[in-house]
A and B are shown apart, each in its own frame.
Chain A
């Protein structure tokens, strides 16, 4: 098909008159059954490069994409154009999926979008063998590269699939962010003859800025000032899930319409936030980088980072989704030197020890196991076990066999020894990348030029709109008014404890603060571990405030405190004081019937659960029909409270509500 003919068809189906030259180059290669890697910036029109040939080829094009919201949007747009497209994802019901698969087997669709994780799904794998497949597309192909900012283990199987596809079969891998090293890595991994199409990555409408903040409070105030004088809506990126919660509450506290978003939220909540963002229902969404992966909004007017990302590649990717409409867009990075800790801790500390790897290998010598079986036998956190298993699969020491329910892990016969040198290489690589980002902060170059050069796209001209080019550099410090305001916020903001289940009378509860974020944690630590005496009165005041804020005028019949493991009578004395103020009777009848260890000594949830299982006994007067307030100092996994609730429910309690001084940041 020549270009004239193709553009005729383009007009008829998609309504455009012409392809860009670079689009046509890609389309031509695909129609000639080649393998193509395309690196083009956001907004270039990558999707047409595969959507057009998909409509010309006989059969169904499979598009792997991690962006559920983006897939939904593209599919809707295609359907509007009269092109038969669909998406298959984890949120669909069994019946919906079966319907899609059936129609796909019948050859109904021209394009089928699917998340990479599906490549591990048994029903999908069984069905796809009956499709007539015309082309395979890998969106966000940088996820293939372990050197990239966003390596996803689920892409591993896509890579091995690509390697096995015939040489003369059209494949498109595309991304908006790839440095030369990532590009080389993708080339190596995909194998075969790859046509590479690399475009220019400069985003003309961006105004990049860095703001040096002398404290966390300065950042908090700076963000508010910026939002108050900026039009449109946008995204604030934080480093942790907790931080998104704190920042969104803080913005709400000063009257800004903000909401938080992270991977730990349930699907419905996430989707409602995504929809809200699309409809401009919020001034801003405060999010972890889980959000960038789900948004296709043309008019994101600003992106603020209150936490420095671990590399310029991360940064380019996260800001990349802003301003797709080409209108002026503000990009701000707030930086305080203490922020280095978080990325550095990820780089330095997120690998389990070699001993832990060996332990996992050893249990797999005896039997093949699923994830939970492994966690139970090795007593490690699920996150650690996941990291270990991913690495072991990567190094071909273990294979993960998909079964209808979960994966079964098997040790391979003749498996190679664990190679830790690759971990070390990766660590050094990441450190170097982080140093690059630190250079971005201090560089006097045009910031856009800096990023493009880093990505391997050499720019000659300055963008003219970043702070460097404008000759402006920003530094802020919080005024005393702001400090006062922030203190007021912190004393009015109480983390919720999520404990409700259908079966239990245990309700959600409240903590006065996060452990480790404010002064509260230090005070607790002094009393518990440094012989600092009773918990200080400010903790009592704050906890009572949390109680009133959360429970309001709610009535309780009895206070019960959690019997101590190692810190003596601190909780008992604290509970007595609360009992006095709230005028609720206190009971001393909840006892321990066996020794338990401090919960913090257990890594896995399963370990924590069994530590406290059957540990409590209630030996008092009847609590039949009573509403009980249960008090503890630190709330972590919630297993202790759940176990106690079980005992009290058996004795007839009708409501059990927790009140604690602090919630750990890692806790639920």
Chain B
């Protein structure tokens, strides 16, 4: 973006009452499709003479307040630039393509970064795990970081204690490069330790929050989305059965990401085993996939993305010689971690199935009719 546009981007990015998804939709309609500048678009919010975006009442309230505060955003923008912080908008070529592809409309519309922006579009590997973790987890982290660094991949770190810090330090120890994803506003960050690496171009610091926001648990959870989104490969060193890593991995699996996880030692009290059952791919210390014997008796349920669920249900019904199956039958057959209303909703959305009522039960069958594909003839 042109530097002069920063105030407008900030005003939109930090407007309240407005989800990222909706901001993205507004940007696409108002700026991308209408082909006008964000400044013009925001000037037009009241009159709607150029763009007729349907705002919710709370959205228009939040955005109008932001517009009113534009001079104040200019003051903040000046501070941002003075601190050598580089803003990147979703329309900029520097914006990481991986993040856009993985998160879609949830990709933050404005990033604040400091350091070597070339790292943003190189293949990245996230190594995640809990703050307090075993020595095996640390060893695993170090080993993966070294390997990935040798392959010239960027290590993406959440900058928390434990695995995050280890991933970052190992990458730098092995002369690799790293991106730090902050769980806070970028102006509240300072680190003597990583300064020389930033100057050399080996570290980039990134935040998608209002530059002055302090650290919070909520943001720590939220920024996992960016870590997973930016990475083309994800390794989990260790997870509890609750907390940021746990939620993050499950969310990732739900989005259909392939997630590698350290295979736990016998009797290890981590959540790793459970996540493997949920669908994470077990790997050994050197990151090589390990096959585990399928203990089909276990109660563990897999986490699959919606598309994957559709795919597997299709297979199961076919294997059931096309007979209809109820949602509970499907859940038992698939061993997936979805509630029965959930699966009904997913399958209803898909055009591959039809619902039939049979003896008081709702059964899903394969839809034999051809999907409505537009034809030329």
Contact = CB atoms under 8 A, between A and B. Distances in A.
Interface in A157-194: 157, 160-161, 163-169, 191-192
Contact of B7 (A130, A165, A364, A401): A165
A128 B212 CA distance: 14
Given A399-B83, A401-B83, A166 B195 contact: no
Given A128-B72, A413-B116, A413-B201, A163 B3 contact: yes
A165 B75 CA distance: 8
A192 B195 CA distance: 35
A246 interface: no
18 contacts: A125-B75, A133-B71, A133-B75, A163-B4, A164-B7, A165-B7, A165-B71, A166-B8, A166-B74, A169-B71, A364-B199, A366-B196, A367-B196, A368-B192, A368-B195, A399-B83, A411-B199, A413-B114
A600 interface: no
Contacts of A367: 192, 195-196
Contacts of B196: 365-367
Contacts of A410: 84, 195, 199
Size band of the B side of the interface?
A: 20 to 34
Nearest to A127: B75
Interface of A: 125, 128-133, 136, 157, 160-161, 163-169, 191-192, 364-368, 399-402, 410-414
B199 A133 contact: no
A163 B77 CA distance: 10
Given A399-B83, A410-B84, 8 more contacts: A129-B72, A129-B76, A132-B68, A164-B77, A365-B199, A368-B195, A413-B115, A413-B200
B198 interface: yes
A364 B201 CA distance: 14
Contacts of A192: 4
A130 B71 CA distance: 10
A368 B84 CA distance: 13
Contacts of A165: 7, 70-71, 74
A166 B39 contact: yes
Nearest to A399: B84
B75 A413 contact: no
A455 to B, nearest CB: 31
Nearest to A128: B75
Contacts of A157: 78, 82
Nearest to A126: B212
B78 A161 contact: yes
A125 B73 CA distance: 11
A569 B11 CA distance: 73
In the A-B complex, the 4 residue pairs with the closest CB atoms = A399-B84, A133-B71, A164-B74, A161-B78
B322 to A, nearest CB: 61
B5 to A, nearest CB: 9
A128 B200 CA distance: 35
Contact of A125 (B71, B79, B115, B116): B79
A401 B74 contact: no
A164 B116 contact: no
Interface string B192-218: 100110111100000000000000000
B362 interface: no
Interface centre among A160, A163, A401, A413 (most CB of B within 10 A): A413
B6 interface: yes
A160 B195 contact: no
Given A367-B192, A413-B199, A160 B4 contact: no
